[in-house]
Amino acid sequence: MDLRRFINGSQRFLRGYELSLDEKRKRRRKSHFSNGNNGEERKRMAAEVLAEARKRNRPAELGGSGCPILVEGKRDKAALLSLSFEGELELVNRGWPLEKLAGWFAQRLQHKNPIDAKESIILLMDWDRTGGRLQNDLRRRLRAFDISVDEYTRQTLMRVLKPETRVVEDLHSMAEELLPLLEELDPSKESE
């Protein structure tokens, strides 16, 4: 009799535990920025820094600075495209050693961007351990060629998005929340 009660009680507890896990997952999926009272503020900060990067990335003939953004892989590029980035998006993972990649950028870029006199390239690696190492290595190599590097975008995204994500490719899943703010801050050609 006692064993039966114990089993029934355990089964009820496990069902309740499974439901609470499902509820937690649903709440987490509902909004990436629902973490605490400052969710709207964090969303706004992410949108502001992405809008500035989008403006700088836009080709000069479309009113931008033509500043390339260097990301790790194809999914990161797709995430930025889902946020209506229109400029040059370059990939680290293209089968080249980092020395060759840095040299290739050194041949193409100047010390400062000639249009807005800011940094020549935006480095946007993931904000996990591997991305941090890659970011540091690329920064060091590009600076050795006297190429100025914008890391402000990554630092800000890392600060405001770290509880929800540690990778650039997850910006794709946040596009629904970020795009309206991005369009408000930096209207794209498509929305005009």
Query: Distance between CA 30 and CA 164 in Å, rounded?
Result: 12
Report pLDDT for 135: 96
Report pLDDT for 15: 63
The beta-carbon contacts of 94-97 under 8 Å, at least 24 apart in sequence, are: none
Question: Which CATH number is 38-191's, of 3.40.1190.20, 3.30.70.141, 3.40.1360.10, 3.40.50.300?
Answer: 3.40.1360.10
The helix (H) or strand (E) run that includes residue 121 is strand 121-123
Strand partners, 89: 69
Report pLDDT for 57: 96
Report pLDDT for 132: 94
Query: Distance between CA 10 and CA 15 in Å, rounded?
Result: 9
Q: Provide block-wise average pLDDT over 10 residues at a time, the chain (192 residues).
A: 69 60 49 64 93 96 95 96 96 93 94 92 95 96 95 94 89 93 83 48
Give the number of other Cβ atoms within 10 Å of residue 172's Cβ.
16
Q: In the chain, what are the domain boundaries?
A: 1-30, 38-191
Contacts of 156 (CB under 8 A, 6+ apart): 45, 46, 49
Give the number of other Cβ atoms within 10 Å of residue 171's Cβ.
23
Contacts of 26 (CB under 8 A, 6+ apart): none
Query: Distance between CA 170 and CA 168 in Å, rounded?
Result: 5
**Both structure tokens of 93:** 């993972």
Q: For residue range 13-47, what is the model confidence (pLDDT) as tens digits? A: 666 655 554 454 445 444 555 555 588 899 999 99
